[in-house]
Amino acid sequence: MTDVVSSEAIAQKGSYKCDVHKLEEGPPLQAVLTREEGLQYYRTMQTIRRMELKADQLYKQKIIRGFCHLYDGQEACAVGIEAGINLSDHLITAYRAHGYTLTRGGTVREIMAELTGRRGGIAKGKGGSMHMYTKHFYGGNGIVGAQVPLGAGVALTCKYLGKNELCVCLYGDGAANQGQIFETYNMASLWKLPCIFICENNKYGMGTSVERAAASTDYYKRGDFIPGLRVDGMDVLCVREATKFAAEHCRSGKCSSPYVTTFALLIHCSHSYRTRDEIQEVRSKSDPISMLKDRMLSNNMASVEELKEIDVEVRKEIEDAAQFATTDPEPPLDDLCNHIFYNDPPMEVRGTNPWTKLKSVS
């Protein structure tokens, strides 16, 4: 794939590897990036990166408790996928959900407050790191691989209602060997569901490298009868074009469920099982933000000062959000059982013993 940068920029050509499975051709070999798009992608990716670095800091200070699955290093996936679909489309992911919560319409304040369990969190402080939701975004799911059949269910709803919508269903390499995923492929293909299955392969599942966990690491072929792509998940344009290609396939009905695999590598978290040299190599050669920044600077799409100004604004937004997340009150006990059901009349819920009664309000 080559990219052509337009709008106040000189055209740039570069080569990208895109492997295909059961497809005569893959995404177009040219991608257009405008200055406006480039600046937008850069801001969003920097926001995710800085937000996750701040979350890491708060976690180590024990201000964020429980689980905290960070997304820094995979920003090109979240931003590229969002750029390739519509806001009316649907998305569901695994437990590494902070980045997608932001790209799907959440705010940094809401996400940070959710991580600290505060009332102003996006799930009112009751969901935490793995359970964040926005319109057309269904989390954040803590059970490995369980979101894949749920995503197919969302896609079935889209088809049943006759809407020109699709569902992007994400999972990691660690979940790729789950039996429920293969069952879902089968149903999705039989029923021709508008579902894009995306494996974000960060090379490790719970500390186990893909080579030790999978007999075949060609995850884009795992759908067997479902077409597949393998693209560079560190390049926001590659991810965007692959997603657009898969989305067009879904909407046109050419095949059941295009299956896109993106490759990414976390560069900040999970230090316990990545060597220092491995982390440093990724940071220096394939950091998704640095790649986009270099592309924009080399094509005169933005100045160093412009990007620095964005960096300053992003840092301030993150600090303000962190301040809010550490001062906003925790939800009161009376809110504990609210929102169990949608649009139902208030009901009593048993507490921790038969004599304790709580009220649930939709």
* pLDDT at residue number 259: 53
Q: Which residues contact 331 (CB under 8 A, 6 or more apart)?
A: 117, 118, 119, 124, 125, 126
Predicted pLDDT of residue 224 = 85
Please tell me the predicted confidence (pLDDT) of residue 88: 97
Cβ proximity of 50 and 98 under 8 Å = no
Kindly report, as residue ranges, where domains of CATH 3.40.50.970 are found in the chain: 10-331
* Residue whose token pair is 């597949």: 228
| H or E element at residue 334 | none
Spatial CA neighbour of 360 closest among 350, 120, 125, 352: 350
pLDDT by residue, tens only, the chain of 362 residues: 544 454 443 334 444 678 888 888 888 878 999 999 999 999 999 999 999 999 999 999 999 999 899 999 899 999 999 999 999 999 999 999 999 999 999 999 999 999 999 999 999 999 999 999 999 999 989 999 999 999 999 999 999 999 899 999 999 988 999 999 999 999 999 999 999 999 998 877 777 888 888 888 888 898 888 889 998 889 999 999 999 999 998 888 765 555 555 443 333 333 345 677 776 776 767 899 999 999 999 999 999 999 999 999 999 999 999 999 999 999 998 888 888 888 888 999 888 888 888 889 98
Residues 6+ apart with CB under 8 A from 138: 90, 91, 92, 147, 150, 151, 154
**Beta strand ranges found along the chain (DSSP E):** 2-5, 19-21, 30-33, 90-92, 167-172, 195-201, 204-205, 208-209, 228-232, 259-263, 347-350, 357-360
pLDDT in the model for residue 284: 67
Characterise 62 by phi-psi region: left (phi > 0), alpha (psi -120 to 50), beta (else). Answer: left
Is the distance from CB of 162 to CB of 196 less than 8 angstroms? no
Select the CATH number that applies to the domain covering 10-331 from these four: 3.40.50.970, 3.40.50.1460, 3.30.2180.10, 2.30.110.10: 3.40.50.970
Q: What is the phi/psi pair of residue 317, to 5°?
A: -60, -40
Q: What is the reported pTM? A: 0.90
